[in-house]
A and B are shown apart, each in its own frame.
Chain A
Amino acid sequence: DAGVIQSPRHEVTEMGQEVTLRCKPISGHNSLFWYRQTMMRGLELLIYFNNNVPIDDSGMPEDRFSAKMPNASFSTLKIQPSEPRDSAVYFCASSPETDTQYFGPGTRLTVL
C-alpha cells in the first residue's frame, strides 16, 4: 500500500507565479481533503471532495486558490497568483467510508 502520494515534496517559487500541488489518494478511498499548516494558524481544512465532487470549500482563502478532482485517483490544488503569505505545508488526506483520514507527507511551499 503506497499511501497518499503528494508531489512535489518541496516547491520554491516567486511571488506572482502559478503553483500546482498534486495528490494521489489511496485506491478505493472516496473522500479527499486538502489542508494547510502554518505556525501561526495551525492546521486548516481548505476543501474536501466526496466521490470527486467538492462538498465544502469554505476554507479556501480566496479566489486565488482552486482545487479540482477530475477522477478518483487524482486531485490538484492551484494557487494563482501566489503570494508570500501562502508559504506553508499543504497536506492531502484521503478517507474510505469511515471517519479515519490518511495523510500524505505534505508539500512544503515557499513563495519568495
Chain B
Amino acid sequence: GDSVTQMEGPVTLSEEAFLTINCTYTATGYPSLFWYVQYPGEGLQLLLKATKADDKGSNKGFEATYRKETTSFHLEKGSVQVSDSAVYFCALSIRTDKLIFGTGTRLQVFP
C-alpha cells in the first residue's frame, strides 16, 4: 500500500547549521507530497508542498524537491534557527482527500 518513511529523530543541530530530513514514499499513482510542521502544543501546519515530479516546494527558508526517480522528498534548510525546533511530518496524497503521514522527525536546534 501507499506509505511514507522518514528518518528517525531526534535531529539535533546548532543554530545556523544545515538541515536535511529524509523522506521517501511508496505510491501506486502520482501523489502530491507535503511537509507539515508541528510546534510544541500546537496542531500541524502546512510547511510546503509539491504536486508533480521535479516541482520544488519552498517556505520560510525550507525547500523540498519532488524526485520521482528516487521516490523522495527530502526537506532542507540552509541555516536553522532555534525557532525551527519542532516535529516535521512528511505526507502524501493520492486523491484530493486522504493524507498518509510519516512518523514525524523531531528537530532540536540549540543556540
Most buried by B among A55, A56, A103: A103
- Tell whether, in the assembled complex, residue A50 and residue B89 are in contact, meaning their CB atoms are under 8 Å apart: no
Does B58 sit within 8 A of A, measured CB to CB? Answer: no
Does A97 sit within 8 A of B, measured CB to CB? Answer: yes
B interface residues, tally (CB under 8 Å): 19
CB distance from B4 to the nearest CB of A (A): 11
A interface residues, tally (CB under 8 Å): 23
- Tell whether, in the assembled complex, residue A48 and residue B44 are in contact, meaning their CB atoms are under 8 Å apart: no
Contact among A4, A42, A99, A105 for B99, CB-based, below 8 A: A99
Does A98 sit within 8 A of B, measured CB to CB? Answer: yes
- Tell whether, in the assembled complex, residue B89 and residue A105 are in contact, meaning their CB atoms are under 8 Å apart: no
A84-100 contacts to B, CB under 8 A, are: 91, 93, 95, 97-100
A91–B44 Cα distance when bound, in Å, is 9
A45–B96 Cα distance when bound, in Å, is 15
Chain B residues proximal to chain A, CB less than 8 Å: 32, 34, 36, 42-46, 49, 89, 93, 95-99, 101, 103-104
Chain A residues proximal to chain B, CB less than 8 Å: 4, 31, 33, 42-43, 45, 48, 50, 55-56, 91, 93, 95, 97-106
